[in-house]
Structure 1
Amino acid sequence: MPESPIFMRLTPAISTERTLPGKPAPVVTLRSTPAAGTLHAVAAQPTARVLSIKTKERKTEPSVPLELSNPAMAKKIGKIQFSSLDLIAPALEGDTRDKLTVPVSPIAEPADTTIFEDPADPAIKYYLPRYRVRIHSGHYEIGFNAMPEGTWRLNIGLEPYPAPELGLGIQGVFELPHDIAVFFRYAAGPSHTIGRTVNFSEIIKEDKGLKVAVILTVPERDALLFALQTPAALPALVTRRAIRLAIPIANPGTQPNAPGRVRDHRSLAQNAALAARFIRIRPNPQPQPKPAGRYSTVQRALDDMTDPEPFVLDPLLHPYLYESAAAGGRSGEAEFRRVILAYPKDTPDARFYTYLQDMVEPWIFYYLPDRFKLSRREQLPFLPQMVVRLGTADGEIEKTMVTIDYLAEPWLNTARLKAAGLSLQSEIPVTARQSNAELRPLQAKASLRMWLPGPGGAALVEQKDVTVDLANGFVHSLTLPLDSFRQLYAAAYSSDATSLFSGEMQVETGLSTPESIHVGIRFSDTQGEILTFEEQPFDSGDTIAVKMLNGTESPLHIDSLPVSVRRGETEVPATIEGLTFVPALELESGTEVRFFVRPQGTLPGDGTLDAVFDTSGVKIRPDPEKILPLISDTSVPAEYERQIEVMTVPELLGEADDPASIILINVEFKGGNSLKLSRSQLSGIVQVRLPLMDLLLNRDVQGKYHYRQQIIRRNGTQTADTTWREADFGILVVPGL
């Protein structure tokens, strides 16, 4: 987000301040360090102020969680569920109702049309209100006031009301405590493709509802007024309501749409007429259901667009608004200027990057990410944020479809942003209100194109219905035939150069041709943490004892690990003792190593030491056989069954009165099933269990299976195989030689 929303806690009691944790995109500013007298680019993370009760003031966390910064995207990510991983011990999810301290939702995806219950007394009900602009004497309560310092204060009065869908069910129901943020959102630029927000920094609770206000410069005011009378700008007054509540955890049960009998028509050269074989998906053994009545405590945010939608106020119908701002000048459209910088500067490998200068606030420059990568979970284990689902509609394996859901996040070269901040300093007019450059993530209209398998080979295909947040990423869903999935999955873990499962993000700014950002879905090049570090002071000196853990599912190749040590604002280089990277360290999944870090310079003061590791050179060695089971939906079976006809003929059994003739053949298949044949039963059908992973990883070329035979003769002698035989026939004739 270019700017973080500012939240107020709505409850019936006195409030104190607190903040919400999270991880927004960085906002980079330039500031002067008095000690050195030089300019430095620093990450100035935006914070969210929250008015709350029942909490004491606590330290500000410099970020806003995705649940509050982009509720729609957070909801999509929440649907990406993972299998359990052996790195961590399985734990019982959630809490029983008697342990809850927050209101309870009857459904997993609550809305403002939901009635909530008190955790201790189900008879006490709550609802989440919506908000609308108050009307007084036929006018919206919205207007500007001139401020002494030459700025303008925009004031809006809001009133709460229940969702009309609740009807009479709202009687006797209490208002649900919630955080609220209010902001204008509109599209700027010559083609109305660049997103801008105006956050209301003052939120005051009144008897009639809320009064919200924001201080604007004249150019900021004029840009907003222009948007409010321009339908193409799609202005919206958004109330974002954040709630903390408990949602029910569904008990796992029999998958409702379990794949049925699947026919495989792949031909076998041995006997095409008899080679047809049948595959039936075999579900995993059903897990024991979780105890009923368990809940997960979550944070959710719900957006509501205040009427009118879009929030267009025609000057002829609402002259009072424009008259209140008339003393300061006339409204004008927001303008942007395109600035192109090379990085690394003056080197053969330099690439060109675009920055958009906001001409309303010319010290603000909007940047684009370097690329988009497959994201990893923020908690252990650091699995790729991808889920694979398998399904078939009509029972034929050729028509089996695989759905891939994944999250891609932007990757930023912070050194590039730091260098850009210094270079862009000279682009700020001397008349600007602020002389320090500030870099913010751009929000603009964007479309995704991906290289996917097609009938004629790989093709660059535009992906419809993908909502892109340039600051946070996007969730993408692909549904493909089985063979196409195999190709994409192979590309995701392969080290070979291939265009499959990569693409480009086309960003429309309206200033020139679209900006292109590379998208690459590779397990070896992901966005997110891969190592954890636990640090403890060692002895009484400045040495730090470190425990490093590979938190991923794949081995890591580490041939160097640059480190520095920081205390307060001072940071010095450091060395690692007790661990060598010659030869390179191969760290297996879930494995930890211990070593010491010693600073190579003086760190004044007596505060806590912090070791800072540069993991950019650590290489992931993806293991496709480990990754796929972990990212597969839990409803995907671990095995499939191939139907085999086993037969013999009297000539192979010998003469009936011959003492050496065969009276019984027992055929045992690897995986469990067996079949007995005799002169009275010359054939039978058996279901052979085979790993489904063979199909997904393209190892099942002809459905190979393993068996062994036991032969019993009339004279009492027995012979039995000591090793497994291999075959791929749909009809197996025994006894084999």
Structure 2
Amino acid sequence: MLDRFRVPQARRFDWLDPVRVPLVPPVRRRLPIIWPDPVIPEWRRLWPPDPLGFPPLRPPNGLLRQEVTVPLAPTWAPADTDVYESADGLSSLVLPRYELAFDQVGVLDEPRVRIEERAGVPTMLITLLRTALPPGMGELPHVLSVSLTYRVPELVDVPFPEAVREDGGAVVVAALPLTSPGLRQQLLAAMSSLEAKPAVVVRRGVTVAIPNPMLLIEPPPPQTWTETALLMEWTAPPAPLLLSDAQRMRLGGGAAPGTVQGMRRLRIQHQGRGHPFWQDPARPERFYFLPDRFQLGRLPGSGRRPALDIRATSAAREEDLRVTVEFLARPVVSQERLAAAVPALAEEARRMGSQRPVTMEILADAQPVLRLGLPQGGAAPSALTERPQAQVDLETGVTHAETFTLEDFRLVHAALFGASLNVMNGEVRAGADDIPLELRLDHTAGDVLELTVLSVGAEELAARLVNIVESPVRVDRLEAAAVGGGLRVPLTVGGLPAGKTLAPREEAEITLAPTPLLPDGGAIALDQSGVTVLVDKAAIWASVFDDTAKPSLTREISVEAVPALFGGPGGDRVAVFVVTVEGASGSVRLSETELRAITTVRVPVRPLLVGGPIPPLRYRTETVWQSGGIGVSAWRETDATILLPVKTPPGSTS
């Protein structure tokens, strides 16, 4: 039997939707319904993508031709080689392509790729030119984005956040801020490698009307259109994009063909310890450094509480209790160390041909790793444990959360208050260098004193210091400087004896001399490295422990009696003991036939976390006598988990 129809690249349909009302009345032999050829086009790239990828079985509702307000595509799966029709039908439009611009440098033609300063940030600029439009054709309206792609070996796509169209759209300048020196070196290395296959990809977003598929039925319905956003990619020639050795060396330095010169590593001594610095080969006056250490931070706002959150979960047993500790550690940088390094760094910059002032910033390492001393099984750690899931930024700090058992958390709690040198201490590994990390509540990063200027005199100014944290502080040394306009002028602090202790919210009057001449935007900076926090454990614990969920521990309590306990004077006997335990779900009843009962009590876990005892149980007994009398005992306290009822004579409340 021959096929009832045969359509190239098309699916066969007999009766499309037996559930819904059919398109034609049912007859003994149903006629086939087919899509125009083709009905399964190549998967097109949509913007946003179409989750189906093929046309519906019924033509969708759409716009009539006179209702369309965007350019019309000639096919259901348009491409950037098609000719589009304007909404008014008066002109033909094409989607332009782009190619790299070239400049002649000596005898070479080099792609117009350059790196220049923008607002103090080195920025890579790539210039593209629009290809010529065919005669009589207009430009299809579109938006565009630019990316640099390469393989290492997986595909890396680096988007340029800015793409500016100039000269009426004939020129496109894409800009990528090189926020870290590693990014510059990485991109230049890729553009010098044939194996990396570097290329500039231009993505053009258009909104066009696409013709809806039509059913071959009589009478034919009018053609409808659907407005759709599409994203069309184009790799700008030449591909691969390769820089000459000379251009690569101008942009980032290079010692040999096919290589990119990395940053120079220097080591400068300060107070008996060597500190690494890195020099940018393309800008010899710019240096990068690592923080001296990381310390537990303090949060902004009233009280500046430690950046530490402790949360516990409810559990049925102590063994099941879990405690989560989340912290933020801030980088600490010695300004004295950096200032002492400036002469040596300036000499290195002059040796590399730069006469500009030295600038320094924290090295933006791409993959720093936290290594932390964590207790195991109630014992102190013997080695550091890597925590790759921690969020580490050498400039903003380290954020991490760790969950412990109860016995391990007690070691952590003690370590936070200075009882251990290795629990919850560790390091941040950045390349080949390790930066110490210390999580101690008596050594936090962040100001604990607040300065307010009261009056300005001819030779000195009066100011007020306030302790703004929850614990007392001891001021062993306090240094101040006027900072502004690129200058730092030391000031002498008077009126504050060494070793002065300030309670929380306590104030102290001081003087600063000489009176600084602060430019606009200037300020007085305090060096508080000589200020020690005298930890108030209760106040800190109240600020860092999250008791919102009221975590509790379930204790099983057994209430037991012996037969002899039911006897009484004059032949009277106890009918039942009713024992009420404070915090239990209900009372328990004991009789001569039921001598044991079980109840549960939920107790707060907060005292357990700090090594304290479980609060004692409070209970009382009602003795119901067979004669009808009832005696009630006083409330009693006990640490036991097995309770005995207290027999009380009728009418007694003792």
Shorter-chain TM range is: 0.5 to 0.7
Aligned to 2:426: 503
Shift of 1:419: 0.9
CA contact (8 A) 1:378 1:529 kept: no
Residue number among 359, 370, 390 corresponding to 1:466 in the alignment: 390
CA 1:476/1:359 → structure 2, altered by over 3 Å: closer, same or farther? Answer: same
Aligned to 1:144: 112
Residue number among 396, 402, 410 corresponding to 1:478 in the alignment: 402
CA distance in 2: counterparts of 1:238 and 1:693, whole angstroms: 58
Q: Deviations over 1:622-644 (max 9, x none)?
A: 45555455444566434333231
1:694 aligns with 2:621: no
Instruction: Name the amino acid aligned to 1:475.
Output: T
Compare CA radii of gyration and give the structure with the larger one: 2
Aligned to 2:57: none
Aligned to 2:474: 558
Aligned to 2:643: 732
CA distance in 1: counterparts of 2:558 and 2:581, whole angstroms: 12
CA 1:693/1:327 → structure 2, altered by over 3 Å: closer, same or farther? Answer: closer
Instruction: Name the amino acid aligned to 1:414.
Output: Q
Identity of aligned residues (%): 22
Q: Which has the higher contact order (CA 8 A, sep 6+)?
A: 1
Aligned to 2:260: 333
Aligned to 1:228: 191
CA 1:457/1:314 → structure 2, altered by over 3 Å: closer, same or farther? Answer: farther
Shift of 1:430: 3.6
Residue number among 518, 532, 542 corresponding to 2:450 in the alignment: 532
CA distance in 1: counterparts of 2:519 and 2:369, whole angstroms: 51
CA 1:426/1:566 → structure 2, altered by over 3 Å: closer, same or farther? Answer: closer
Instruction: Name the amino acid aligned to 1:139.
Output: E
The 5 A counterparts of 1:116-127 are none
CA distance in 2: counterparts of 1:185 and 1:581, whole angstroms: 60
Q: Deviations over 1:130-171 (max 9, x none)?
A: xxxxx964535794278999x998334699xxxxxxxxxxxx
CA 1:324/1:332 → structure 2, altered by over 3 Å: closer, same or farther? Answer: closer
Q: Deviations over 1:338-392 (max 9, x none)?
A: 2222212xxxxx2221122233322222211111222222233423333334458
CA distance in 1: counterparts of 2:623 and 2:429, whole angstroms: 71
CA 1:400/1:533 → structure 2, altered by over 3 Å: closer, same or farther? Answer: same
The 5 A counterparts of 1:212-611 are 212-213=174-175, 224-230=187-193, 317-318=240-241, 325=247, 332-344=259-271, 350-391=272-313, 397-444=318-365, 445-455=367-377, 458=381, 459-493=383-417, 495-508=418-431, 514-537=432-455, 543-546=461-464, 548-551=466-469, 554-560=470-476, 562-564=478-480, 566=482, 571=489, 573-575=491-493, 577=495, 584-588=500-504, 592-603=505-516
CA distance in 2: counterparts of 1:695 and 1:340, whole angstroms: 49
Shift of 1:416: 0.9
Shift of 1:656: 5.9
Shift of 1:599: 2.8
1:649 aligns with 2:562: yes
Aligned to 2:69: none
CA contact (8 A) 1:398 1:482 kept: yes
Aligned to 2:528: 615
Structure 2: tracts of 5 or more residues without a match: 1-46, 50-94, 103-110, 131-142, 153-157, 203-231, 252-256, 649-654
Aligned to 2:215: none
Secondary structure at the aligned position of 1:418 is classed as helix
CA 1:419/1:736 → structure 2, altered by over 3 Å: closer, same or farther? Answer: farther
How many matched pairs?
481
Instruction: Name the amino acid aligned to 2:646.
Output: P
Aligned to 1:244: none
Secondary structure at the aligned position of 1:452 is classed as coil
The 5 A counterparts of 1:126-165 are 137=97, 139=99, 143-144=111-112, 154-156=125-127
Aligned to 1:51: none
CA contact (8 A) 1:533 1:547 kept: yes
Q: Deviations over 1:458-498 (max 9, x none)?
A: 132222333532222232232333322332232122x2342
Residue number among 585, 593, 618 corresponding to 1:707 in the alignment: 618
Secondary structure at the aligned position of 2:125 is classed as strand
CA contact (8 A) 2:492 2:512 kept: yes
CA 1:226/1:566 → structure 2, altered by over 3 Å: closer, same or farther? Answer: closer
CA distance in 1: counterparts of 2:151 and 2:330, whole angstroms: 23
CA contact (8 A) 1:376 1:382 kept: yes
Shift of 1:501: 1.0
Secondary structure at the aligned position of 2:336 is classed as helix
CA contact (8 A) 1:373 1:411 kept: yes
CA distance in 2: counterparts of 1:539 and 1:499, whole angstroms: 50
CA 1:600/1:636 → structure 2, altered by over 3 Å: closer, same or farther? Answer: same
After TM superposition, the score normalised by the length of structure 2 is 0.59
Aligned to 1:101: none
CA contact (8 A) 2:582 2:618 kept: yes
Instruction: Name the amino acid aligned to 1:376.
Output: R
Instruction: Name the amino acid aligned to 2:395.
Output: A
Secondary structure at the aligned position of 1:359 is classed as coil
Shift of 1:234: 12
CA distance in 1: counterparts of 2:160 and 2:151, whole angstroms: 15
CA contact (8 A) 1:647 1:677 kept: no
CA distance in 1: counterparts of 2:48 and 2:416, whole angstroms: 42
CA distance in 2: counterparts of 1:317 and 1:488, whole angstroms: 55
CA distance in 2: counterparts of 1:370 and 1:203, whole angstroms: 39
Instruction: Name the amino acid aligned to 1:364.
Output: R
CA distance in 1: counterparts of 2:388 and 2:550, whole angstroms: 30
Shift of 1:651: 1.6
Which 10-residue stretch deviates more, 679-688 or 477-486? 679-688
CA contact (8 A) 1:185 1:236 kept: yes
Shift of 1:719: 7.6
Instruction: Name the amino acid aligned to 2:291.
Output: P
CA contact (8 A) 1:389 1:632 kept: yes
Shift of 1:658: 5.5
CA 1:233/1:524 → structure 2, altered by over 3 Å: closer, same or farther? Answer: farther
Shift of 1:734: 2.8
RMSD: 5.4
Structure 1: tracts of 5 or more residues without a match: 1-111, 115-134, 160-174, 176-180, 189-196, 240-305, 345-349, 509-513
CA 1:234/1:387 → structure 2, altered by over 3 Å: closer, same or farther? Answer: farther
Q: Deviations over 1:260-302 (max 9, x none)?
A: xxxxxxxxxxxxxxxxxxxxxxxxxxxxxxxxxxxxxxxxxxx
CA 1:586/1:707 → structure 2, altered by over 3 Å: closer, same or farther? Answer: farther
Which 10-residue stretch deviates more, 638-647 or 499-508? 638-647
Shift of 1:671: 5.3
Secondary structure at the aligned position of 1:416 is classed as helix
CA distance in 2: counterparts of 1:626 and 1:693, whole angstroms: 14
